[in-house]
Each structure stands twice: as structure tokens, then as C-alpha cells.
Amino acid sequence: MQHMVATLIAQAKEVHDDGSIVEIVVWELAEPLPPCTHRYKYRLFFGVPGECLVRYDNERDVTNWR
């Protein structure tokens, strides 16, 4: 796996009173990561402890992203 220079643009995590978790992380890459034409890598998460309800990551392989 080749590593690329990246700058952290945004990172936020909220834990709500009901225990639900919302998290976002956005990186700006030095150059686009094919096949993308943009320079951003991001992930979004919503869940409760021990359970992922919604997860989105613009990478191709997200088997171990957290």
C-alpha cells in the first residue's frame, strides 16, 4: 500500500444523549487518488455503541477504516 501526503481538513465526533454517535473526517490529498478526480478522502459514521447503522467512505476498500 502506497502512503500519500494528506492534510486533515475536518474531524468531528458527537455523542448524543441517547448514545448515538455521529462522526465525520475529511482529508485533502496532495493529488487525486484514482479513479477519483478530486483530492478529498472522507468518511461518515452514524451508530450506537457496538452497532454501525450508517457508514460511508469514498475509498474503495473500507474493511478496516475505524
pTM given for the model = 0.75
Evaluated on CA atoms 5, 58, 61, 45, the torsion sign reads positive
Whether 62 is in a domain gets the answer no
Residue range(s) defining the domain that contains residue 29:
6-57
Whether 66 is in a domain gets the answer no
CA distance 24 to 14: 9
Query: Could you check whether the bond before residue 32 is cis, i.e. omega within 30 degrees of 0?
Result: no
Whether 11 is in a domain gets the answer yes
The residue-averaged pLDDT of 50-63 equals 80
Amino acid at 46: F
Whether 13 is in a domain gets the answer yes
The residue-averaged pLDDT of 42-58 equals 93
Q: Taking a C-beta distance cutoff of 8 angstroms, is the pair 49, 40 a contact?
A: no
Q: What is the share, in percent, of the chain residues with pLDDT greater than 70?
A: 86
Given a cut of 90, whether residue 43 has pLDDT beyond it is yes
Whether 21 is in a domain gets the answer yes
Number of domains in the chain: 1
Between 66 and 58, residue with greater pLDDT = 58
Whether 64 is in a domain gets the answer no
Whether 48 is in a domain gets the answer yes
Query: Tell me, what's the pLDDT at 48?
Result: 96
For residue 44, which of 60, 26, 29 has the smallest C-alpha distance?
Answer: 26
Query: Tell me, what's the pLDDT at 32?
Result: 87
Whether 23 is in a domain gets the answer yes
